[in-house]
Structure 1
Amino acid sequence: MNNRYEKVRKISGLIAIALLTLVSGCKDRSVGVEGYCPIVESTSPSDGASDVQTDAMVTVTFEEEINPETFDQEAFSLTSPNGEVSGTISYNEETQTVNFTPDSPLATGTNYTGTVDNTVEDPLGNQMLEEYVWNFTTETPDPGTPIIVSTTPGNGDTGIALNTEVSADFNMMMDASTISESSFTLTDGNDNAVDGTVEYSDSTAVFTPAASLENGTTYTASITTDVTSDEGTAIEDNYTWSFTTVEAGLQAPIVDFTDPADGDTGVALSSNISATFTEATDPRDIEADLFNVTFTIEGGGQEVEGVITYDGLTAEFEPNEDLVPGTTYNATVTTSVKGESNEEDMEVYEWSFTTVDEGLQAPIVDFTDPADGETSVALNTNISATFTNATDPRDIEADLFTVDFTVEGGGEQVDGVVTYDGLTAEFEPNEDLAPGTTYNATVTTGVKGESNEEDMEVYEWSFTTASIEGLQAPVVDFTDPVNGETNVALDKTISATFTPDTDPRALELSLISVEFVITNQSNGETITGDVFYDVDNLMAYFDPDEELEEGVIYEGQIITSVKGDNNATDTEIYGDDEEWVFATNGLQAPIVDFTDPVNGETNVATDKTISATFTPDTDPRMLELSLISAEFVITNQSTGETITGNVFYDVDELMAYFDPDEDLEPGTTYEGRVITSVIGDNNASDTEIYGDDEEWTFTTQ
C-alpha cells in the first residue's frame, strides 16, 4: 500500500476522533474518548425520598469540581404543583456540593421535582451531557400535628428593619394560652433575651420587641414544644430561625443625574429610565438590598409599569412596554433606608422628559453590501443595508424604527444580530455562510407603534458566496516561534506563514479554517485565543487570550482545512509529523546533582566517559528537544590544557555524557566544571555552573 496514502488515512482517523471529542466535549464511556463532563453523584434528599422535613436544605453533589458561576438560578429549579420554590444557592468547593436553601419551609405532603440544567460546566468549560431530574416528597404529619409553615422575617434574611415584628404562621388553630413570652422568644448574637410581647391571632403568633432592634445584629427566634394546638397536640420539635438587621449609619441615596436628563426631548420609545446616585452611596449597600428605591413614571394620564434593576450606583427602570410617542413623562425616584419610616429620612428626586414625535417614515434602503447579484462573497461577511439621506440617523439611534433582516440560503435561514452605525444597519451572522451558496436577503423597515403594512418598506436582493471547488488547505511553511526556540516573550502573538502557492483569496474570503492548538506541557492545558489573517503576506496569527506562562515548554499544532469540505484528506496538520515546540523566557537551566567520577575519585580509567546527572525536578523535554546546552570543561591540572570531546544526553536518566576525543593522561589530576544554560537565553543569571563554588577533581590510574 502507498505509504503516503496509509499515513493520510491514519491522520483522517485521528481527526475524526478529535472532531468527535470536540463535538461531545466529554468522555463517552462506551468508546473511551478522553474529556469528562460534570455528572451528578448524589442529591439530598435522594431521588424517591419520602417523609422529607419541610425545613430541609436541598443539595446536589457532583463527581468532579464545577464552575459555580454556571450553577445559578437559571441552571437549577425546585418545583411543586404550587409553582417554583425561591431560595439562595451556595457552593462548597471542597465537597463539590451545591446547597439550595428555600426562602421558606416547603409545603407538607407535597411532591417536589429538582432539575439541574445541562448548562452546568466544569472549570474547563465541559457541559453536562443532559439535565438531571429527581423527585422527593415532604413529610405528611399527622393531621392533628401543628407545624410552622412560614416565618417573617424568613430564615437567613438580612437588612431587616429595626422596628420589625417577628411572626410565625401555623397550619392550624393553636391554643393561644400556650403561646407566650416563655414559649416564643427572641435572642441577640450574644444569646441575650430581647424584651417584648407575644400575641396570637388567626393561626399567627407575633413577637413585638419592646424597643428597636440593634443595627447589624443577627437575631434568633425560637418557638418551643410548649406550644400546642386547640386539641392539645404540641409541635414535634423546637423551631428556630435567624435573621440580621440593617447596618447602622446608612443615609438614603441621593440622585446625582438621570438618563434621560431633565428636559430631554426626542427620547426613544424603547428607553429605560435610570438614576445614578452620588459617590457618597456605597454600591455594596445597594447590592445588599438595604434601601427602598421606587420609580414613579407618569405620562398621558397613565402610570408606567416596569422592573427595577441595579448596577453599581445606578438604578434602572425598564418599562414593560415602549413609551408613547410625543408624550411628556414626569418621573420621580424616592429612596429611603429599609427600616426607617421617618419621611425626613427619605430622598425625592423629580424630573421630566418628552418622547419623540409621531409622523416618521420608515427608512428606505439606498444600497447594500454585498450588492444585488454579487458573487464570490466572503464566507465571514456581514450583510449591511444603508438607508437614503431622507432618514435621520438620530431617529435610528433613538430606536424609533423596526429593522428586520431575513437571510436565507441552501434551504436554511441565517441567524444573527443587527447593529447600527449612522444610516447603516448591519447584520452579523452567528456563523460563517456556506460556500458556493446563493442567499436571498430581505430588509423590512417600519415605524415603532405603526402596525399598518402600507407604512412598511421592503427591500429584497441576492448574492452568492465564494466557491471552494478545487481549493486545497494551505500548508504551513514556517512558524514564529520556530521549533526549539527559547526565551519566547510571554505576550507573544504566534504566527504561521503558508507556502507561496497558497491562494490568498482563501484567506481573504475566509474559505479556509486555521486552528492553532498550543498546549502547555506542564499542565496539559490548551490555551485559547483568536485567529486573524494577513492576506498580503499569506500569514495567520494566533493571539492568546492570556499571556503565556513563564518558563514553560509549549507544544503546537496548526490544523488547516477548507470550510464546508468534510473530506479529512484535505486537512493539513503542521506539528504532527515533525514536532513544533518552544519555551517561554524564564526557563531554568538544569542543575547538576552528582557526577561520575565523583569529586576526589582516584584510579579513574583513562578511557572514561564522564557524566553528570541532573536533579529530579529537571524537565526531560529540555534534553529531548535540545533546549539546553551542557558544556563540560575538563582541565589537565599539570598542563592547564582543556580536553575536547562530544556531549550527548540520556533523556530517561536525566544525564549528560562527555566523551573525550582522546584518552585521558594516566596518573593525572583533572579539574572539572559543567556549565548548563538555556539555548538562546543570554541572561547569565540563568546559567548553572557545577564545580565553581565546590571543587570537582579526579585522578586517572
Structure 2
Amino acid sequence: MRAMRERKNPKIRKNKVYFRIFGTALSIVLIAVFINGCTNEVLKDETVADPNLNVSIAETFPANQADTVVINPVIAVTFKSAASTSDVSASTLILKEGTIPVTGTVTTSGKTINFTPSTDLKPETDYTATIKSPKSSNHDSGEHSWSFRTGKHRQNNSLSVVSVTPLKSAIEVATNVKPTVTFNQEMTSSMTKLVTISLWQGTTAVIGTLTFSGKTATFSPTNALSAKLVYTGKVVFGTKSSSDDDDEDDDNNKSASTYTWSFTTVGSGPDVTLPTVLSVVPTNNASAIALNSKITVTFSEAMNSTTINTTSFTLKQGSTNVAGTVAYSGTSASFTPSSALAANTIYTGTITTGAKDAAGNAIASNYTWSFTTAPTAPVDVTPPTVISVLPTNNATNVGANTHPTVTFSEAMNTTTINTTSFTLKQGSTNVAGTVAYSGTSASFTPSSALAANTVYTGTITTGAKDAAGNAIASNYTWSFTTAPTAPVISFATEVLPILQSKCMPCHGATSPTAGISITNYTTVSKLSNSQIDNSSMYPKMGVTAAEQATIKAWIAAGRLNN
C-alpha cells in the first residue's frame, strides 16, 4: 500500500527522502548529546569534598545512588577548577560489579576523566565506581567511591533520571506537593517527546499538568493529593511522538524502561492498620504462676472497649472456660478469675478476632498463649525457735532501763505474742510491762526501771506460735543481772576541789582565759560537758586519771549541785 501511494504521488516519495535525511541528522545530534552527557553528567549542587581525596570532585556521572542508568553509560568524574591537568591525568577511575572489576578504557579531557566499559553493563545490577587520586607532596593517594544501578534500556540519547522530589519512600509529604523529575540532560522540545511522566494513587492516575524547565520536569496535580496515602511517580523512557509513524524508523528511542518511585502524604487518613497483641502477663509458657493471678493483655493501640469482654478475652483450663470478669483501660485488658486457679495446672488465654480497635479493625487472627500455675504449697509443720535474746543469757551489768528482746526463726502469729507467752520475772515475781511484736522480733518493756544488781529471768512459753499454728517445742528461758547502783559523786567535796587546784589558776574570777570561769557551781553549770571534760586540757593541767574519772562520773550522774 505504501509503495502504491509513493508511485501515485512522487511528492510523498520526495518528502520521505527529506525526512530520512532529517532523521539521520537528528541521530547524529543525539549521539553527540550522548557523548557530551556521559562526560558531563552531574547532580547539580552536590560537590564531593571527600577528605580522602587531594582534589575535590565537582560532579560525577552517574550520580551517587542513581537508578535505571542505561546499560551503555560512560562513567565520568569532573574535578573542581582547582585541579591541575596533571592531577586529572594521574588519577585512576575503575568500575566494579561487587568485587569483580569491569574492563574498559579510561580517557581524560580537561578536568574530566572518563571510563568507557568494553561491553554493555548487566541490566538491573548494582555497580560501584571508584576514583583514585595520585600522591602529592602533602598527601598520600586517596579514593572516593559511589554506586548506581542499571536499568534495562540501552539508548543512544542516554537520557536518565538523576533525582526526584519528593524523595523515594518519603513520608509526611504535603498534600499540595508538585513532584519533580531531574534528568541528566536539558529537556528540549524534542527530548520531552522521549519520556512520559505520570502520578498514580494505586491504579488511579492523578490528573495534572506537566511542564519542563532546563533539566527538570514538574507535575502539578489539578487538585490537592489525599492525606496519608501512597502515591507512585512513573517516568517511561523512549515514548515516540505521534509524527513518528514510519515503519522503517530507527528503533533506538522506542519504550525500553520505566523509572518509578513512591512517597506517602501527610495527614490523618482512614485507619486500616490491624491491632496486635504486644505483650501478655503471665508470659507464654511461664510456670509457677500464683493461683490468685490476674491475666493481662497489652494491645498495640487503643481498642474499642465494647469489644473487649469475656467473649473476646477468655481463659480456659483444657476446654473448660474459667469464670471471671474482664476490664479494659488505656491499651490494656485484664481478666480476673472469680476464684483462685487450680495448682500445678496449664491454662490458656485467648484474644479472639472479636477484639477491635477504635476504627473497627479486628486483630488478624486469634492470639493464644499458655502458662502453668504453681504447685500446691507444702504444709508448714516446723515449730519456730528462739534464735537470739537481748540481753544475752547470763549477761551482767545490764542497764536498769533495758527492754528484753527475743528474735524468732520465722514470722509468728502476733496474737500469740503477749504478756502471757513472753514474761520477765525477778525470782517468782512477774515484772509488770508491755509486749510488742514486729517482723520476727518481740520486745518486753518494763513499766518501771529494773532494780540494781538483781537477777531477772525472761521466758517464752509454748503459747508462742508461728503463722501456721506451730508452737515452740518447749519453754525458752534465759537470765541476766542488772548493774550495781552507781556511787553518788559530790560536786562540793569531790569535783570542785579538782577544778580549784588544777583549773582555777587560768580560769579564776579575774581575767579568766578564753572567758571561762570555774570558780563555783554557778559558773561551772554554764559550761558544756566538753568544756568541763576537756581531754586535751587534762595533760596541761596535770589532771590525773582518777580525777578525770570523778569528773566524768559527776557529769554522767546529771551534774548535780550536791
Query: Given the two structures, how large is their TM-score scaled by the length of structure 1?
Result: 0.23
| Greater helix proportion | 2
| Greater strand proportion | 1
Mark the structure with the bigger radius of gyration: 2
Query: Given the two structures, how large is their TM-score scaled by the length of structure 2?
Result: 0.28
